[in-house]
Structure 1
Amino acid sequence: MDSTCAYSLSTPWRHSLRTKLTLVQVCKAWRNLALPFLYNRIILYHAEQILYLARTVRDSSNVAHLIKHIHLDCFTARLPEALNEMAFILLEMTRLKSISMGFRFFMGGITHLHRRAIRKFKTALAGLPDSLTELGYCLQSLDNDVPFNLPLRHFNTFPQLTSLTMPLSSSWYTDYKARHAVRLPHLAELELFCREDPDFSIFDSWDMPNLRRLWMTQNPCNMYLFHPKIGLSEFFQRHGGLLEFLDLSEAKTYDALKFGELLRSCTKLRHIVLPWTWVPYLLHKSFGAHAAFHLDIWSHTESHTGDTLGAAEDRILRDARVLDAGLMHLRHLPLLIPPNTDLCPDEVVTYDLLAFRIVQSRRLVKGVPIACDVPNSEDGVYEPELSDRESSGMSDEGSDDEDAYEDTDEELWYIPETTRGIPA
Structure 2
Amino acid sequence: MIDPLLIHGALELERTDRGLLPHRLPAWARAQSDDPQLHHAAAQPAGVRLAIRTAATRLELDVLPTKRRYVGAPSRPDGWYDVLVGGELVERHQAPGGNVLHVDMMTGASTFDAGEPTTLVLTLPGGDSEVEVWLPHDEQTELLALRADAPVAPLEDDRPRWVHHGSSISHGSLATYPTEPWPVVAARLAQVDLTNLGLGGSALLDPFVARTMRDTPADVISVKVGINLVNQDLVRRRALGPAVHGWLDTIRDGHPETPLVIVSPIHCGIHEAVPGPTGVDTAAFTEGRVAFRAEGDPQGAARGALTLQAVREVLAEVVERRGDPHLSYVDGLTLYGPEDAERLPLPDNLHPDAATHRLIGERFAAVVAPGAGQAGRAGRTVGGSIISPEESACR
Tell me the TM-score range normalised by the shorter chain. 0.3 to 0.5
Which has the higher Rg, Structure 1 or Structure 2? 1
Which protein is richer in helix relative to its size? 1
State the TM-score, normalized to the length of structure 2: 0.32
